[in-house]
């Protein structure tokens, strides 16, 4: 009989981990308050830009590489997943060279841009090819894929990881609970980072972003007929209310970055959808490690999609090692 594994959390880290475990032949049960198709401020995965661009200083390079390779294979094999390749351009205001961009050595079509082409205030920029997911399509696709492999979903907000074990009879628990890890893992380093963006109708089809002293981006949404414009990030803020006063600031920065590509957007009359999500970070960095029969995977902040399938591969290795250890003791 296949071993049972309970995955707590149905964000991108939980779903990615569940999929690799289910593909291994394990009996997977996902327990989560929020499931694909849900909205709400309590989780970030539906609102993410979901562009595979590793943060240069976040580390975990092998994990990011493994994840990017997984998405590249999926984009080639199954565009119905909501994953595709895209041209991306990233600018920085706080560094003079691209020396810190470690992924330039393996990401396709990397090209350093001439200074004259950079937006005002930017010191370095480069373009490359990467992958992009539309969470509105991709998260339900993952859930359907899991169900086809026999995985079961339970909608419940649990109060302890022991509760998950008692509910499911699972021998191993994967804790991919995001912000919930503050309670479930007793980890005071878990921190919330509120983000606000807006969706507008547009056929603009490139990813562009500025990092450094400001955080500005435009990200196309596959199959949606529009783009995400952002962004605003605030630490230790879980307020779900939309600040409509930020719209004009976001639009001004995006237009400066794109050469007024969105100059015709009227914030009063055009159809605008504001989006607020809370990114689940961790002061001290990502945590992917085993503690007895619990495997923790959380703390990815705004880079959950970037690391998702690399983290899931590490989770799978830890789960299989744990099962082998348990089997050896029988």
Residue 143 has pLDDT above 80, yes or no: yes
Q: Where are the alpha helices (DSSP H) in 186-277?
A: 246-258
End-to-end alpha carbon distance in the chain: 15
Q: What percent of the chain has pLDDT over 90?
A: 78
Helix axes 304-329, 61-77, angle to 10 degrees: 100
Q: Where are the domains of the chain?
A: 4-329
Q: pLDDT at position 1, please?
A: 61
- Round to whole Å and give the CA distance between 40 and 113: 39
CATH code assigned to 4-329: 3.40.50.720
Q: Return the residue matching tokens 């490139």.
A: 206
pTM: 0.94
Answer whether residue 235 shows pLDDT above 70.
no
- Cα distance between residue 81 and residue 67, in whole Å: 16
For residues 242 and 146, the model is more confident at 146
| Model pLDDT, residue 41 | 74
308 within 8 A of 67, measured Cβ to Cβ: yes
The rounded mean pLDDT for the chain is: 93
Per-residue pLDDT band for 152 (boundaries 50, 70, 90) equals very high
Q: What is the mean pLDDT of residues 98-124?
A: 95
What is the predicted pLDDT for the residue at 35? 95
DSSP calls for 20-68: HHHHTT-EEEEEESS-TT--STT-SGGG---B----TTS--HHHHHHHH
Residue ranges with strand state E in the chain: 4-8, 27-32, 83-92, 111-112, 124-133, 152-155, 172-175, 190-201, 207-211, 216-221, 226-235, 272-282, 287-291, 294-298
Q: Check if the beta carbon of residue 19 is closer than 8 Å to that of residue 142.
A: yes
For residue 309, the model assigns a pLDDT of 98
Q: Which residue has the higher pLDDT, 328 or 18?
A: 18
Q: What is the mean pLDDT of residues 101-129?
A: 95
Predicted confidence (pLDDT) at residue 51 exceeds the cutoff of 90: yes
Task: Give 260-300 pLDDT, tens digit per residue.
Answer: 999 999 888 787 888 888 899 999 999 999 999 999 999 99
Pair 56, 92: CB distance under 8 Å: no
Q: Which residues contact 329 (CB under 8 A, 6 or more apart)?
A: none
């Amino acid at each position: 009989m296949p071993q049972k594994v309970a995955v707590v959390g149905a964000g991108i880290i939980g779903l990615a981990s569940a999929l690799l475990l289910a593909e291994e032949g394990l009996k997977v049960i996902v327990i989560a308050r929020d499931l694909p198709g849900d909205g709400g401020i309590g989780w970030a995965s539906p609102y993410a830009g979901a562009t595979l661009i590793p943060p240069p200083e976040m580390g975990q390079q092998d994990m990011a590489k493994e994840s990017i390779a997984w998405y590249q294979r999926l984009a080639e094999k199954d565009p119905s997943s909501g994953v595709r390749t895209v041209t991306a351009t990233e600018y920085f205001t706080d560094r003079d060279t691209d020396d810190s961009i470690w992924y330039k050595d393996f990401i396709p079509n990397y090209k350093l841009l001439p200074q004259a082409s950079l937006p005002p205030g930017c010191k370095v920029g480069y373009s490359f090819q990467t992958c992009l997911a539309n969470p509105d399509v991709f998260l339900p696709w993952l859930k359907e894929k899991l169900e086809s492999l026999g995985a079961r979903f339970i909608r419940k907000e649990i109060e302890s990881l022991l509760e998950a074990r008692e509910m499911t009879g699972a021998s191993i628990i994967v804790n991919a609970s995001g912000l919930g890890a503050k309670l479930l893992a007793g980890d005071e380093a878990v921190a919330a980072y509120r983000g606000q963006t807006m969706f507008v109708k547009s056929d603009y089809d490139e990813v562009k972003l500025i990092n450094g002293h400001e955080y500005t981006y435009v990200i196309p949404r596959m199959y949606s007929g529009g783009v995400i414009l952002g962004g605003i990030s605030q630490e230790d803020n879980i307020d779900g209310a939309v600040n409509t006063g930020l719209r004009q600031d976001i639009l001004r920065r995006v237009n400066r970055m794109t050469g007024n590509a969105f100059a015709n957007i009227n914030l009063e009359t055009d159809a605008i959808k504001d989006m607020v999500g809370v990114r689940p970070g961790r002061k001290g960095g990502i945590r992917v490690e085993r503690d007895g029969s619990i495997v923790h995977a959380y703390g990815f902040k705004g880079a959950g999609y970037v690391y998702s399938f690399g983290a899931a591969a590490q989770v799978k290795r830890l789960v299989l090692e744990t099962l082998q250890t348990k089997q050896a003791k029988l």
